[in-house]
């Protein structure tokens, strides 16, 4: 489908907008809503588009004669109408006959207004020959999500190429947490199939929300007495400016919200956490807090202990039954059942911190890395998908995330790469920006120790170590901590033995909590692919040492020139030590040149050193300016030709006269430096040429 509608009936949890899980009946769910869709007439607030004539020369698998998506706001919640009439032109479009409707039983059953096949002047009522099947499956159970959403599916029988399928239904959204406040998005896809599209938003008297319409929608706007409509015939494909920051992806979107500003959102949700974190006099959590206070004297140590208790003793399961995707479970309830989602864990952690005398508040964030430009959006909780705790301890700020593994302590910044956050307080807070900082440690560091002392034609002893930080490192922690050392060894032998690794003798993994790094070490024997020349010389490209030239930053003439160019912040480091074949001399060895430059905001550096019968190489690449303007891009486009895009070769020449490795740099060996605690040799400076 070309349109999307995101209503806010979901915010305040990383799980809130992602789950579409079917569960069994929860307490209070209407039995009628669980049975599946009912039939009924099209709502009076829906205006259906007249079908567009199918052109003779139409291409593609289908033609959308009409598609109408309309949202309707009342004081009881929202309703969403979907209707379309589509001509099937190719067999690969027949899958459109698999109709699926998802709904929240707490808001009432979906209403199907009709499903018909139009063929050779005849109208076939599909509902007379087929029925919806309500699926009861936990399709997100492996992600620990239970949101109570039901899904009904119907497979249109005897659907053929040339048929037209006409379908329309209405679903409902209602969350008591919202208190009658509406908020959401209407979206037209960037590249829809050819045809006619109508996007609408209307409301009952007195329910008009604030609106913000992206500029590319204004030409299609048709104001109504109690609504707005947007009509498109064969809408053009929209392409955001090439290599632009993520905020420029925001295209063909209508925002609507009853919230006047971000402080009003903050004030609306803060009391939910105040209530959920309140502890009755006999709460067992008071005893848990007392144990923590007795065992730890410093406030930060107490906060760390409370966080670990929530992380380790309460498993993560998202629970959004009965519209609970916005409301946190109480701290006592979460502790008693020993499972909870981000909201429940946050309430539990807030309760413990309050008992320990530590000031803290819940904070909404977007964990997907798509919050660039949130300050330009209407205030609406649907922009956020996760909630965590921000604590204030002895003049410093710490972020505590109860959904993380128990190896993650209070930290100066959230684990997720976050730009904008919304603290929830009863006085109301504005949207806050977390200043971006150049990374001080690599996201990933790869160390290779290649012991080729046995000779050019012999297998080498190889040790490979990867140091992974951030979200990827925690994903490894969860994955690798769940298997035994023997299972891990067997798995890596199966997957990696081949052209490079001839044999893997040992695999070791650990998580360094102080460095917040996952460390994987593989040791064994492998093939060093020495290239030969006619003079008896050899060469070898060190793994991870080369640079590919950056792409030119250019845009077509129809795209704006004042939009900055963007590079996603990242930092990688590769370190290789080669223990040279016995019998060779330093004067016989050389290497590709050292390298240090900044292009398009990314710093590239490669350094060499030859010492003690080894050649050491370190290669770092770090984004230090995520956004650059067109003038800087034009300057660097002219420098690409001089970019050294060669691989990191070392050369052996039997008749060599003097060593030619590096330019006097000092490069620690892979085993002669603590790369976990001190990765500074990867990128000691903050600006290349």
As a three-state string, the secondary structure of 43-88 is CCCCCCCCCCCCCCCCCCCEEEEEEEEEEEEECCEEEEEEEEEEEE
For residue 13, the model assigns a pLDDT of 28
| pLDDT score of 1 more than 90 | no
Same domain for 315 and 253? no
Confidence of residue 4 (pLDDT cuts 50, 70, 90): very low
Q: What is the dihedral of CA 128, 130, 136, 137, to 10 degrees?
A: -150
Last residue of a domain, one of 258, 273, 293: 258
Say if residues 319 and 146 touch (Cβ distance below 8 Å): yes
More confident residue, 500 or 402: 402
User: Per this entry, what is the length of the chain?
Assistant: 689
Domain count, the chain: 3
| pLDDT score of 123 more than 90 | yes
Domain coverage including residue 427:
263-433
Summarised one tens digit per residue, pLDDT across range 628-647 is 999 999 999 999 998 888 89
More confident residue, 501 or 180: 501
382 alpha-carbon distance from chain centroid: 15
Same domain for 544 and 629? yes
Mean pLDDT across the stretch 131-156? 72
Same domain for 144 and 45? yes
| pLDDT score of 29 more than 70 | no
For residue 67, the model assigns a pLDDT of 98
Q: What's the CA gap between 423 and 428, in Å, rounded?
A: 8
Same domain for 674 and 597? yes
Mean of per-residue pLDDT scores for the chain: 90
Same domain for 228 and 123? yes
Confidence of residue 148 (pLDDT cuts 50, 70, 90): low
Confidence of residue 657 (pLDDT cuts 50, 70, 90): confident
Same domain for 147 and 199? yes
Mean pLDDT across the stretch 454-481? 96
For residue 419, being part of any structural domain is answered with yes
Mean pLDDT across the stretch 418-447? 97
Same domain for 187 and 141? yes
The domain that holds 50 is classified in CATH as: 2.60.40.3140
For residue 575, being part of any structural domain is answered with yes
Mean pLDDT across the stretch 39-57? 95
Spatial CB neighbours of 193, under 8 Å, sequence gap ≥ 6: 2, 60, 61, 62, 63, 64
- Burial of 124: CB neighbours in 10 Å, binned 0-12, 13-18, 19+: middle
- Burial of 309: CB neighbours in 10 Å, binned 0-12, 13-18, 19+: buried
Spatial CB neighbours of 579, under 8 Å, sequence gap ≥ 6: 449, 450, 451, 452, 453, 613, 614
In the chain the first and final C-alpha atoms are separated, in Å, by: 49
Q: Which two tokens stand for residue 87?
A: 């001509």
List the single range of 133-137, 588-592, 601-605, 645-649 with lowest mean pLDDT.
133-137
Same domain for 292 and 252? no
For residue 76, the model assigns a pLDDT of 85
For residue 281, being part of any structural domain is answered with yes
| pLDDT score of 491 more than 90 | yes
C-alpha pair distances (Å), 533 with each of 173, 203, 206, 341, 530: 72, 78, 83, 62, 10
For residue 685, the model assigns a pLDDT of 60
For residue 32, the model assigns a pLDDT of 61
Residue matched to tokens 């999307």: 4
For residue 223, being part of any structural domain is answered with yes
Spatial CB neighbours of 390, under 8 Å, sequence gap ≥ 6: 360, 361, 362, 363, 397, 398, 399, 400, 421, 423
Spatial CB neighbours of 485, under 8 Å, sequence gap ≥ 6: 507, 508, 509
Same domain for 246 and 175? yes
Residue matched to tokens 């406040």: 181
Same domain for 305 and 185? no
For residue 684, the model assigns a pLDDT of 77
For residue 439, being part of any structural domain is answered with no
For residue 31, the model assigns a pLDDT of 56
The domain that holds 422 is classified in CATH as: 3.10.620.30
For residue 466, being part of any structural domain is answered with no
| pLDDT score of 21 more than 60 | no
Same domain for 640 and 535? yes
Mean pLDDT across the stretch 65-80? 94
Phi, psi of 385 (to 5 degrees): -135, 10
Summarised one tens digit per residue, pLDDT across range 351-369 is 999 999 999 999 999 999 8
Summarised one tens digit per residue, pLDDT across range 226-261 is 999 999 999 999 999 999 999 999 999 999 999 999
- Burial of 111: CB neighbours in 10 Å, binned 0-12, 13-18, 19+: buried
Summarised one tens digit per residue, pLDDT across range 517-573 is 999 999 999 999 999 998 899 999 999 998 889 999 999 998 998 999 999 999 999
Instruction: Report the share of the chain in percent with pLDDT over 70.
Output: 91
Summarised one tens digit per residue, pLDDT across range 304-326 is 999 999 999 999 986 654 445 67
The domain that holds 647 is classified in CATH as: 2.60.120
Please, which residues bridge with residue 649 across strands? 541
For residue 249, the model assigns a pLDDT of 92
Give the count of beta carbons closer than 10 Å to the beta carbon of residue 130: 16
For residue 132, being part of any structural domain is answered with yes
Say if residues 526 and 501 touch (Cβ distance below 8 Å): yes
Same domain for 180 and 96? yes
| pLDDT score of 384 more than 60 | yes
What pTM, to 2 d.p., does this model score? 0.89
More confident residue, 38 or 659: 38
For residue 621, being part of any structural domain is answered with yes
Say if residues 221 and 230 touch (Cβ distance below 8 Å): yes
């Amino acid at each position: 489908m070309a349109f999307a509608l995101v209503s806010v009936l979901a915010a305040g949890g990383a799980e809130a907008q992602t789950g579409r899980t079917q569960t069994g009946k929860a307490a209070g769910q209407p039995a009628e809503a669980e049975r599946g869709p009912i039939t009924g007439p099209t709502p009076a607030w829906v205006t259906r588009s007249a079908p567009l004539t199918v052109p003779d020369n139409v291409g593609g698998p289908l033609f959308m004669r009409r598609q109408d998506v309309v949202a309707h706001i009342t004081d009881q919640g929202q309703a969403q109408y979907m209707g379309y009439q589509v001509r099937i032109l190719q067999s690969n479009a027949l899958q459109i006959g698999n109709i699926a409707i998802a709904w929240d039983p707490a808001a009432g059953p979906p209403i199907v207004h009709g499903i018909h096949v139009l063929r050779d002047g005849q109208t076939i009522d599909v509902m007379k020959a087929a029925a919806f099947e309500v699926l009861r499956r936990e399709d997100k159970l492996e992600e620990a999500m239970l949101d109570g959403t039901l899904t009904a599916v119907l497979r249109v029988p005897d659907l053929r190429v040339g048929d037209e399928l006409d379908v329309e239904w209405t679903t409902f959204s209602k969350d008591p947490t919202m208190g009658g406040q509406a908020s959401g998005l209407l979206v037209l896809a960037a590249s829809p199939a050819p045809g006619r599209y109508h996007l609408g938003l209307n409301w009952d008297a007195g329910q008009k929300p604030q609106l913000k319409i992206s500029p590319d929608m204004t030409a299609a706007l048709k104001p109504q007495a109690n609504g707005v409509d947007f009509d498109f015939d064969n809408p053009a494909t929209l392409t955001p400016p090439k290599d632009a920051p993520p905020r420029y992806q925001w295209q063909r979107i209508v925002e609507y919200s009853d919230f006047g500003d971000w402080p009003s959102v903050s004030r609306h949700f803060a009391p939910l956490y105040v209530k959920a974190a309140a502890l009755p006099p006999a709460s067992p959590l008071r005893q848990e807090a007392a144990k923590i206070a007795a065992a730890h004297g410093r406030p930060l140590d107490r906060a760390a202990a409370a966080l670990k208790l929530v992380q380790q003793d309460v498993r993560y399961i998202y629970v959004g039954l009965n519209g609970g995707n916005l409301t946190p479970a109480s701290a006592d309830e979460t502790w008693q059942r020993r499972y909870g989602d981000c909201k429940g864990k946050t309430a539990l952690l807030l309760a413990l911190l309050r008992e320990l005398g530590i000031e803290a508040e819940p904070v909404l964030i977007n964990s997907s890395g798509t919050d660039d430009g949130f300050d330009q959006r209407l205030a609406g909780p649907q922009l956020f998908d996760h909630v965590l705790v921000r604590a204030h301890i002895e003049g410093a700020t710490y972020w505590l995330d109860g959904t993380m593994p128990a190896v993650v302590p209070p930290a100066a910044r959230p684990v997720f790469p976050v730009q904008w956050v919304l603290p929830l307080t009863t006085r109301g807070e504005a949207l806050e920006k977390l200043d971006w900082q150049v990374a001080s440690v690599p996201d990933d560091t790869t160390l290779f120790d290649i012991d080729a002392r046995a000779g050019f034609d012999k297998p080498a002893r190889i040790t490979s170590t990867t140091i992974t930080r951030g979200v990827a490192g925690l994903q490894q922690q969860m994955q690798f901590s769940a298997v035994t050392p023997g299972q891990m060894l067997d798995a890596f032998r199966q997957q990696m033995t081949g052209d490079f690794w001839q044999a893997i003798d040992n695999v070791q993994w650990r998580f360094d909590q102080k460095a917040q790094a996952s460390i994987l070490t593989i040791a064994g024997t492998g093939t060093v692919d020495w290239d030969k020349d006619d003079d008896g010389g050899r060469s070898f490209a060190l793994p991870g040492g080369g640079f590919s030239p950056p792409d030119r930053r250019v845009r077509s003439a129809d795209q704006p020139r004042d939009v900055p160019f963007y590079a996603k912040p990242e930092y990688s480091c590769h370190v290789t030590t080669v223990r040279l074949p016995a019998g060779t001399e330093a004067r016989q060895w050389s290497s590709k040149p050292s390298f240090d430059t900044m292009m398009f905001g990314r710093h590239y550096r490669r350094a060499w050193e030859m010492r003690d019968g080894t050649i050491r190489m370190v290669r770092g690449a770090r984004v230090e300016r995520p956004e650059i303007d067109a003038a800087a891009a034009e300057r660097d486009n002219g420098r690409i030709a001089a970019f050294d895009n060669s691989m990191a070769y070392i050369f052996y020449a039997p008749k060599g006269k003097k060593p030619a490795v590096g330019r006097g740099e000092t490069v620690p060996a892979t085993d002669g430096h603590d790369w976990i605690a001190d990765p500074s040799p990867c990128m000691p400076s903050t600006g290349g040429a």
